Amino acid sequence: MTRVALAFSGGLDTTVCVPLLEEEYGYDDVIGVTVDVGQPAEEFDEAEETAEALGLEHYVVDARAEFAQLCLESVRANATYQGYPLGTALARPVIAEAILEVAEEQDCTGIAHGCTGKGNDQLRFEAVWRSSDLEVIAPVRELGLTREWEQEYAAERDLPVEGGSGGDWSIDTNIWSRSVEGDALEDPNYVPPRDIYEWTDEPGTETEEIEIAFENGYPVAVDGQQYEPVALIEHLNDLAGSYGVGRTDMMEDRMLGLKVRENYEHPGATTLLNAHEALEGLVLTQEERQFKQQIDQQWSQKGYEGLIDAPLVSALESFIDETQQRVTGTVTIRFEGGQARPVARDSKYAAYSAEHASFDTETVGKIKQEDATGVAKYHGFQRRLANEAIAANATDEDE
């Protein structure tokens, strides 16, 4: 008997994939696998109910802790893509690995997803799965299915698919971010209604300050209370979201070259990334900060591509690990006007001296202010020579 494991959400795409895998691909048995990376409870209820209605053997894997740890690794790398924190991108390899484990445990010969041929997720899933010996199947992509066709197919087969609000928007949620796309939002000139947001309130006039503690680049506590990664992220999502922190409305460049309109919510991620970068600014040298920007950009790109296990990432993380040994301390964040703004930071590793930087002291340690005169004379010396040569030659040409 041939079996295939399907990444199963209970939504339209994956629901229609169940009979298609049997009828079009000839599989005797389809099993559904849903991976918990922090979705709302109702999504698991929907998946369970749909699986039961389909007579589908269904597995649920809790990967929240693993995913949360990866999110905190992304904080150490200041990981963003085109200005927003990576959420869906980081979740996909975690989900893919969990599904692959179930597929192998259940002696499957195939593994499938419901992604289209236009998005990023197909690449992120398959980057993990193609390292195995299982046949990789993508019915929606391979059969060229449209959403309209799927809806008609589901109606003809009386498949258990509910329209709900998902009929308007395509929503993906995990503990690090919530994305909303599709329908009218595909028009860049369309102003989205306020009800697309669930994690973030409209920014108001109220403010609040919190203190976030870091150890070796990892956030570990808020206002002196220690948190495990999942609880820490969830706490900051609730708190920062109540002040309207962490909204992004953007035109995103996908890996396949398509430009798409995306809306994201990421209050906790925004807060932690802002705090972490502020602490790095206190403890790292100028050269370290400049070079780390390149390291962070490469880490972020691989994270966006779903290639977080690439050898390059391991090499990048060696540098990150070295710098993060000193990223220990606290940062005070002020929630104000929809922003999470660092307003204070402290660390025993600070590469900073208030006495040396102060305008009220005459010297910088053993260095006198007058010692900077020679430096000032040399500063811009090549520029002056170059400009003199340019001016001289311009005069000769005029003559």
Annotated ligand binding at 114? The verdict is yes
Question: What is the DSSP-derived secondary structure letter of residue 86?
Answer: -
Nearest to 119 by CA among 308, 309, 305, 313: 305
Annotated ligand binding at 13? The verdict is yes
Annotated ligand binding at 120? The verdict is yes
Annotated ligand binding at 264? The verdict is yes
Annotated ligand binding at 179? The verdict is yes
Annotated ligand binding at 243? The verdict is no
Please give the structure tokens belonging to residue 155: 């109606």
Annotated ligand binding at 14? The verdict is yes
Question: How far, CA to CA in Å, does 280 sit from each of 76, 87, 352?
Answer: 9, 22, 12
Query: What SS3 class is residue 341?
Result: strand
Which residues pair with residue 85 across a beta bridge? 80
Q: What ranges make up the beta strands (E) of the chain?
A: 3-7, 29-36, 57-62, 80-81, 84-85, 110-112, 135-137, 170-173, 178-181, 208-215, 218-222, 225-226, 247-253, 259-265, 329-336, 339-346, 363-364, 367-368
Instruction: Give the C-alpha separation, 147 to 159, whole Å.
Output: 14
CA count, 13 A, side-chain hemisphere, 241: 19
Amino acid sitting at position 276: H
> Element (H or E) spanning 50, and its range?
helix 41-54
Annotated ligand binding at 347? The verdict is no
Annotated ligand binding at 271? The verdict is no
Buried b (16+ CB within 10 A) or exposed e, 53-89: ebebebbbbebbebbbebbbbbbbbbbbbeebbbbbb
Nearest to 81 by CA among 320, 321, 269: 269
Annotated ligand binding at 174? The verdict is no
Annotated ligand binding at 121? The verdict is yes
Strands 259-265 and 247-253: antiparallel
> Element (H or E) spanning 291, and its range?
helix 286-305
Please give the structure tokens belonging to residue 287: 């050269």
Strands 208-215 and 178-181: unpaired
Annotated ligand binding at 124? The verdict is yes
Instruction: Give the C-alpha separation, 181 to 84, whole Å.
Output: 15
Residues forming the active site: 13, 92, 121, 170
Annotated ligand binding at 244? The verdict is no
Annotated ligand binding at 96? The verdict is no
Strands 170-173 and 135-137: unpaired
Summarize the annotated binding site for ATP as residue ranges. Answer: 7-15, 114
Annotated binding residues, written as ranges, equal: 7-15, 84, 114, 116, 120-121, 124, 170, 179, 252, 264
Q: Which residue ranges make up the annotated binding site for L-aspartate?
A: 116, 120-121
Binding residues for L-citrulline: 84, 120, 124, 170, 179, 252, 264
